[in-house]
Chain A
Amino acid sequence: MIAEGLNPALILIVGGLLAPLLGGRVRAVFMLALPLLGIVQLCGMDYGSGGIVQIFQLNLITLRLDGLSFVFALIFLIASWLGVIYALHQRDTMQDVAALVYAGAAIGATLAGDLITLFIYWELTALGSVFLIWARRTERATRAGLRYLVIQIGSGVLLLAGATIHLRATGSIAFDHLGLDAPGGLLIFVAFGIKCAFPLLHNWLQDAYPEATVTGTVVLSVFTTKLAVYALARGYAGTEILIYIGATMTVFPIFFAVIENDLRKVLSYSLNNQLGFMVVGIGVGTELALNGTVAHAFCHILYKALLFMSMGAVLFRVGTAKASELGGLYKSMPLTAGFCIVGSLSISAFPLFSGFVSKALIMTAVLEEHYPVVWLALLFASAGVLDHSGIKVPFFSFFYHDSGKRCAEAPANMLIAMGIAAAACVALGLFPQALLYPLLPHAVDYAPYTLTHILTQSQLLLFAALAFVTLMKTGLYPAEIPSVNLDFDWFYRRLLPAASARVWTLALRGWEAFNAGAARRVEALIAVLSRHHGPHGLLAATWPSGSMVLWAVLLLGVCLVFYYL
């Protein structure tokens, strides 16, 4: 431990803000050291609550360490370290700062013991992360970043509203189990659901992540969504509706992933699908299921970052990550291809790789609690994962038709980051009892490597691979076509603007009609006035002074007559 009671989040946030003061190698070393210092600090702390700050008569618990927050903070620190390594070739101060502040904010949020602290860090993740999108410095990225920011900030606003209602009703801001029936519970649930990319609240993810920079997408893939998984596990474990939300999440994105051309967007859909497995685990809510969710989040962060790193390396070297423009790259980037395949095997849950262990914990928990239909849906989705992340991503980029593109292998720092992530995927798969289980919040009594599990899982995956071969050979497999596919974002990117434009035109037309009517009335009034008071009007005519005199004389005469009488 470095200093008593120092929040590891602050190491990254303050360190990130100080990074621009340093330059070149010194900054690189400094940034590499920050997550490692964070890990040392985190591992040296005892479980318990601390870092109490008082504002407005509220006691904020800025540091609450227990089994659940520890493992998320740990994997966030490891991932941010990998992110720094992966970005070492890059000279971009904006991204250096944003990546560290963003990671620090996510860690701060997992360590928050109350809803207000959670809210503050929640919004800071939104602010920090959007610069990783804007750093692409294109028109598209700027717009995507704005859409992303609006939705992320909106999620925070809902969280604050829920927290306020909760405080008024209960007098407490503690962030413990909430449930949907708690005051403000539904608002907070939706706030978490947005960041967790629940169905129909999901599209910010596939919209924004592929538009971020090469290194930015890797960092983005780690934090926001898994922070939401953590928050749901903390506040809504055992909420049954999450089982069905999660099952929908596993199935719904795979169809989009199959026909998507941008491979980083394919991975974004795949990320959404993986979140579904975790959400199901939270919904089941037993110790085994929650262990499964945490284990899956831990393994998933590594293999998903690895996959995004490999596609980032392709984008960096070739200038595109579109399947229709790639192929045969294993000749130029053999190491990247190898690491990508390790990530693919891990996410597909092949035996000996990390996903095999972590996904099985959730699947087993689902069966033990008697949800056979949900289990079948998850098994269905597992075949889908094999397609889009297991086969499509490596196959269409590194193999298939040779695109003729030749480039250099990825930079050394990228290869090192990918190598470490790949090694971790294999190590977690090989030695779960030693490496993974001790990190989980509850004691684990599950042996992944039983004969039944190995053989049934191999059967599922290899027959699915056989289906791929069959569809390719018969020409039924959908070709990679340069295109975009409509998803839910169409509603707010097309329908809503079009509808509002229509309303605007109608309103404008109404206003014009009103104006024209009013103008006509005013003109009529002016005409009347000018008839009577205008230059030729009777009332406005200049009368000759003679007639004035005549009238005066007449008046005087009348007066005289009256005097006489």
Chain B
Amino acid sequence: MTVPSPSADRPEKKYWLDEPRNVNKLIGVLIAVCVALVIVDAFYHKHVHLAFEESFPVFYGAYGFLAYCAIVLSAKALRRLLKRDEDYYDR
């Protein structure tokens, strides 16, 4: 006679995000919104304080992208200098 197995043996519920295809869909949405923001950028009058905010097209987007890369990559490089074992201070 077979005993009904406890829930542990049951295959775990499959989540929507477990599917790489769905993750790619989300990335697709992000790219689409970014493209839309670039297009919109040319078609409205900005109320800004600094001249280059207006004269430089997609200033905020470019700045955000580059700043992000600069931060992450330089932090990664910084790691070579600063990284120690987890128990460094406990020894």
**Nearest Cβ on chain A to B10's Cβ, whole angstroms:** 13
Contact (A255, B75) CB under 8 Å given A386-B68, A464-B65, A464-B68:
yes
Cβ-based interface call for A368 (8 A)? yes
Asked whether A387 lies within 8 Å of B72 as measured between CB atoms, the reply is yes
| A255-275 contact mask (Cβ, 8 Å, vs B): 1 or 0 | 110110000000000000000
Cβ-based interface call for B78 (8 A)? yes
Q: Which residues of A contact B13 (CB under 8 A)?
A: 331
Q: Which residues of A contact B72 (CB under 8 A)?
A: 258, 387, 467-468, 471, 476-478
Q: Which residues of B contact A550 (CB under 8 A)?
A: none
Q: State in angstroms the CA–CA spacing of A482 and B83 once bound together.
A: 10
Q: State in angstroms the CA–CA spacing of A465 and B34 once bound together.
A: 10
Q: Which residues of A contact B70 (CB under 8 A)?
A: 380
Task: Select from chain A the residue with minimum beta-carbon distance to B54.
Answer: A452
**Nearest Cβ on chain A to B61's Cβ, whole angstroms:** 4
Q: State in angstroms the CA–CA spacing of A383 and B74 once bound together.
A: 14
Asked whether B82 lies within 8 Å of A457 as measured between CB atoms, the reply is no
Contact (A484, B30) CB under 8 Å given A331-B15, A450-B47, A458-B37:
no
Asked whether B83 lies within 8 Å of A140 as measured between CB atoms, the reply is no
The 8 closest A-B pairs by CB, nearest first: A258-B75, A467-B68, A383-B67, A463-B61, A460-B64, A459-B60, A464-B64, A367-B49
Q: Which residues of A contact B83 (CB under 8 A)?
A: 259, 481, 483-485
Which residues from 192 to 241 on chain A have a C-beta closer than 8 Å to any C-beta of chain B? none
User: Which A residues lie at the B interface, using CB under 8 A?
Assistant: 140, 254-256, 258-259, 330-331, 364, 367-368, 372, 375-376, 379-380, 383-384, 386-387, 399, 402, 450-452, 455-471, 476-478, 481-487, 493-494
User: Which B residues lie at the A interface, using CB under 8 A?
Assistant: 13, 15, 17-18, 27, 30-31, 33-34, 37, 40-41, 44, 46-50, 53, 58, 60-76, 78-79, 81-86, 88-90
Contact (A466, B40) CB under 8 Å given A259-B79, A384-B67, A452-B46:
no
Asked whether A483 lies within 8 Å of B67 as measured between CB atoms, the reply is no
| Set B27, B48, B60, B90: member contacting A457, Cβ < 8 A | B60
Q: State in angstroms the CA–CA spacing of A456 and B40 once bound together.
A: 11
Q: Which residues of B contact A256 (CB under 8 A)?
A: 75, 82
- 9 new A-B contacts, CB < 8 A, other than A456-B60, A467-B66, are A140-B90, A256-B82, A259-B78, A331-B15, A402-B18, A463-B62, A467-B65, A478-B76, A484-B83
**Nearest Cβ on chain A to B28's Cβ, whole angstroms:** 10
**Nearest Cβ on chain A to B58's Cβ, whole angstroms:** 7
**Nearest Cβ on chain B to A323's Cβ, whole angstroms:** 13
Most buried by B among A384, A462, A493: A462
Task: Select from chain B the residue with minimum beta-carbon distance to A479.
Answer: B76
Contact (A462, B73) CB under 8 Å given A255-B78, A467-B68:
no
Asked whether B84 lies within 8 Å of A383 as measured between CB atoms, the reply is no
**Nearest Cβ on chain A to B42's Cβ, whole angstroms:** 11
Task: Select from chain B the residue with minimum beta-carbon distance to A143.
Answer: B89
Asked whether A465 lies within 8 Å of B30 as measured between CB atoms, the reply is yes
Asked whether B71 lies within 8 Å of A462 as measured between CB atoms, the reply is no
| Set B60, B74, B82: member contacting A486, Cβ < 8 A | B82
Contact (A367, B50) CB under 8 Å given A458-B37, A462-B30, A485-B84:
yes
Task: Select from chain A the residue with minimum beta-carbon distance to B49.
Answer: A367
Q: Which residues of A contact B71 (CB under 8 A)?
A: 254-255, 258, 380, 383-384, 387
Q: State in angstroms the CA–CA spacing of A458 and B72 once bound together.
A: 20
Q: State in angstroms the CA–CA spacing of A467 and B48 once bound together.
A: 25
Q: State in angstroms the CA–CA spacing of A469 and B72 once bound together.
A: 12
Q: Which residues of A contact B44 (CB under 8 A)?
A: 451-452, 455
Asked whether A462 lies within 8 Å of B90 as measured between CB atoms, the reply is no
Task: Select from chain B the residue with minimum beta-carbon distance to A486.
Answer: B82
Q: Which residues of B contact A482 (CB under 8 A)?
A: 86
Most buried by A among B47, B72, B81, B88: B72
Asked whether B90 lies within 8 Å of A455 as measured between CB atoms, the reply is no
- Pairs A–B under 8 Å by Cβ, sample size 24: A140-B90, A258-B75, A259-B82, A331-B15, A372-B50, A379-B67, A380-B67, A383-B64, A387-B68, A455-B40, A462-B30, A462-B61, A463-B61, A464-B64, A467-B64, A469-B27, A469-B30, A471-B69, A471-B72, A476-B72, A478-B72, A484-B89, A485-B83, A485-B84
Q: Which residues of B contact A452 (CB under 8 A)?
A: 44, 46-48
